Amino acid sequence: MMKVFLIVIDGLGDLEKNGKTPLSLAKKKKLNFLAKNGLCAISYPIERGIVPGSDTGHLALFGYDPYKYYVGRGILEALGSNIRIYEGDVAFRANFATCSKFEITDRRAGRIDEESAKKLAKEIEHLKIKDFDFFFYHTKGHRGVLIIRGRASPLVTDTDPHSLGKISWSKGITDEGNETAKAINEWTKEVNKILEKSEINKERKKKNIPQANIVLLRGGSSIVKGKYFEGATYFGPYVKEPIRVETFEERYGLKASCIAGGALYKGIGKYLGMDVIELKRATADQNTDLEEKFSKGVSEIQKKDFVFLHIKGCDPLGHDGKFDEKRKFIEKIDKCIPDEIIKDKDILTIVTSDHSTPCSFKSHSAHPVPIVFYNCGRRNNVKSFDELSCSVMEIKHLDVMPMVLGMINKAKMYGS
């Protein structure tokens, strides 16, 4: 049986500037080789007109309908951060951000450095609000995870407005979430007071650097039964009732490894029962050690049936509007793709993305992303791996795993 090596370049898709995207402009000998000798398409991560999150885009790519299996980002971030979570805990993805009188002026606090973020996290690591305990954990850069313990409900709205402007104060989605929402709003105000007084922020203000003086929350979700991720049942505002998620191996009969630096992507791996491989020099941005990632990938594909290798850097560059730096990072990725993976006729290599992050938008968009299946026994005469060239065929992310099973001869017959 063929093995599968899936490379996901986060936020890869973009829009044209002077007739070119960062991907079409990039010098990418290996990616173009895969395109010329593989089956190419553009893929809608969810469906036309829907802007995917990184979480929902990945779930769809692995064949899990996000409308059915997505409970909220928080629990995925917590799983990927190795945070101990128990029945009844509610987890949120958290961002250090900058505000003035609760008007958000920077959703990532100027992409605060690792050291400052860690120190600020210590100042707010445990607060008691009403009957709830709030535990804050820093993960990477401006990112963190908040755990609320004490009969909290995930049925609350986000405080992250997902754009600049007024903070979105939390509200209960149902009456069950009202008390949790009130506590979240009190916690947010208390955290703002603490961070405003922090010496780190006073120093940042002197240097005219965006202060990390507020924490924004999104994606509340919880474990209803079980702990960590082994056989747990999950719940959140995106599902009508608690769900247990079938593992990747249970669903496809494929033993899988996840190689990623960001908490969300490791969390998705754990959510689906993949083996998550720890990395020493992964930064979840363009400074990550690509050689370490691909070296681990080459090692893991010898032991497993399926390797998911995630590369984050293009996404933050898209969010920051850095068109040329995004192009340069794509070129860096191209050089690091291992020749031994390309040359191995027993490996189906797939390169794609979870969503587009156009530099002109500085956010995710509903545009489809390019995808190539190399070593699948078919090709469609594409000369370059880019958004326009790959548009000879159109699929959705939910089509990818059924196609993969067909390509490695594991698809089931329908009829006789």
Q: What is the per-residue pLDDT across 101-112, written as a single tens digit (0 to 9) for each?
A: 999 999 999 899
> Confidence class of residue 357 from pLDDT cuts 50, 70 and 90?
very high
Is residue 146 within 8 A of residue 170, CB to CB? The reply is: no
Contact between 120 and 96 (Cβ < 8 Å): yes
From-to residues of CATH 3.40.720.10 in the chain: 3-67+245-407
Chain-centroid distance, C-alpha 369: 15
Q: What are phi and psi of 256, to 5 degrees?
A: -125, 150
CATH topology of domain 3-67+245-407: Alkaline Phosphatase, subunit A (3.40.720)
Chain-wide mean pLDDT for the chain?
94
Residue 232 has pLDDT above 80, yes or no: no
Q: What pLDDT, on the 0 to 100 scale, is given for residue 231? A: 61
CB 306 within 8 A of CB 6: yes
Segment 101-129 mean pLDDT = 93
- Rounded to whole angstroms, how far apart are CA atoms 3 and 127? 48
Average pLDDT (367-383) is 97
Which phi-psi region, left, alpha or beta, contains residue 287 (left: φ > 0; alpha: ψ -120 to 50)? Answer: alpha
| pTM check: above 0.85 | yes
pLDDT band at 233 (very low <50, low <70, confident <90, very high): confident
Tokens of 125: 């690591």
